[in-house]
A and B are shown apart, each in its own frame.
With several copies, the nearest count.
Chain A
Amino acid sequence: MALYSDKVMDHFRNPRNVGVLEDANGIGEVGNPVCGDIMKMYLKINDDEIIEDVKFETFGCGSAIASSSMATELIKGKSVEEALSLTNKAVAEALDGLPAHKMHCSVLAEEAIKSAIDDYNKRKNGEK
């Protein structure tokens, strides 16, 4: 009944995979500073379409940071297809739940991944 679950607080206090991935081949950014949150995902996807490495940067509240951290953990080592099927609900559940008015943070995490994979696909197809 505290604001956040212990899982959320753990991922907020000790976020996994924070930072920039210099050799990322898929980068996605969602959100906007006017609303108070931005999430940026860096993916390194290998030739087998496996996410070899992932990092994030987040400007936002505790649950935004925790959602980013959890999302990176959930997709690291997974295939692009698997990553694409990750829902915001799965992120929230992995965090032992989020307060109702904070669910949008998990949505942001899902969208950041999709956006990064989208970027990866565009680069692959030479659109970028």
Chain B
Amino acid sequence: MKIYADNAATTKMSRHAIDAMIPYMEEIYGNPSSLYEIGQEAKEALESARERVARVLNCEPREIYFTSGGSEADNQAIISAARLGARKGKKHIISTAFEHHAVLHTLNKLKEEGFEIELLDVHSTGLIDPKQVEDAIREDTALVTIMYANNEIGTVEPIREIGKICRDKGVIFHTDAVQAMGHVSVDVARDNIDMLSLSAHKFHGPKGVGVLFAKKNIMLTNIIEGGAQERGKRAGTENVPGIMGMVAALEDATKDIDGYAKKLIPLRDKLIEGLDKIPYSELNGDREHRLPGTVNFCFEGIEGESLLLLLDDKGISASSGSACTSGSLDPSHVLLAIGRPHEVAHGSLRLSLSEDITEEEIDYLITSVNEVVTYLRNMSPFWRDLVNGVRPHVFKE
């Protein structure tokens, strides 16, 4: 059996998205800035794509800027809000401890420039309480940036309520919706969002293309200077094929969010229940407020990379917050942020499902993880110490 269960890392492009790109690669290749026919055709496509994205997000077309992905959108949103704030002497930014690195590293850069960065606690649930935001906002707050859904543990934040608080207090609110889009309903008007980031390859669109939504009253700062593309706010010849593929995927991914949830949530819950039966394991992040397809567990006594490699041998593609897989020395900052100790965080597993997963595959996932965890524990001196009581367990059985 082959199961791709790493849809939070990237997704398989849909046939529809690929087909939407091809004509712009083969025939309508003109530069949208050109006057002649195939340039103007490309320009029309580009502007209709902008309208279609705006319709999905519920905003105006001119509030949509196409970028090279989620990271660029995050960087530009945060830098822009910081520059706007600094002009009014506002240098306080509120975020959370478990944002994506595209957000956290940009905030670090601003910190070096003299901004004060306040990272809210996300609790053991991986959830922010809107009250925390309310309490943290000050006169000199330039920006609140809080992700819509977390990429590792899949928790979904109370964005609408946070947005309301920011709107009432007149503070710019940005949300990284890279993991949320296509999985839960996102509406920038309803949710009081001022800026929002998307990345196409997370919802069956192409890699290397994304969206920054910014309300029309927000003056963006360029990250990339040059030509006057994207209303002068993002230079570079437009990636028209990529944008067309993204829009096709975006419409497909959002056209039946309720049906998607209805189908996927029972399967996800079955997976959670199955993995929960493995002794000394625990779900990461709140049980309820989570993406329909994302499940993240910690297993005591094993290390994530070996787990992934053995699952790969069984045809299962998954990911882990283990330091070995992150390329850094520490395990996932997300798992540490929800209070997992290092030794447990190393033994984490994220399974992120796609809509076409079957019940049979869920069973296979549960059985396989169980087998591999047992196998690895049997050769783990750490596990031996745990069961022998030499070291204390972190989780209940």
Contacts and interface: CB of A to CB of B under 8 A. Distances in A.
Interface in B17-54: 35, 40, 43-44, 47-48
B379 interface: yes
A59 B380 contact: yes
Contacts of A62: 305-306, 309
Interface stretch (B63-71, B206-214, B284-292, B320-328): B320-328
Nearest to A69: B379
Contact of A18 (B47, B304, B310, B379): B379
Interface string B321-357: 0111001010100000000011100100000000000
A57 B309 contact: no
B305 A59 contact: no
Contacts of A64: 303, 306
Contacts of B323: 35-36
Contacts of B48: 1
Contacts of B327: 101
Contact of B44 (A1, A38, A40): A1
Contact of A57 (B40, B310, B380): B380
B163 interface: no
Main secondary structure of the interface of B (DSSP, over half): helix
Nearest to A37: B303
B164 to A, nearest CB: 35
A13 B306 CA distance: 10
B383 interface: yes
A61 B305 contact: yes
Main secondary structure of the interface of A (DSSP, over half): mixed
Contact of A38 (B35, B306, B331, B382): B382
Given A1-B44, A36-B346, A61-B324, A12 B306 contact: yes
Interface string A1-40: 1110000010011010011100000000100011111111
A36 B381 contact: no
A15 B309 CA distance: 14
A68 to B, nearest CB: 9
A111 B310 CA distance: 26
Interface in B345-397: 346, 379-384, 391
Contacts of B127: none
B73 interface: no
Contacts of A37: 303
A60 interface: yes
A52 B339 CA distance: 45
The 7 closest A-B pairs by CB, nearest first: A33-B343, A61-B305, A59-B382, A40-B381, A61-B324, A57-B381, A36-B346
Interface of A: 1-3, 9, 12-13, 15, 18-20, 29, 33-40, 57-62, 64-65, 101-102
5 contacts: A20-B384, A34-B342, A38-B380, A38-B382, A65-B379
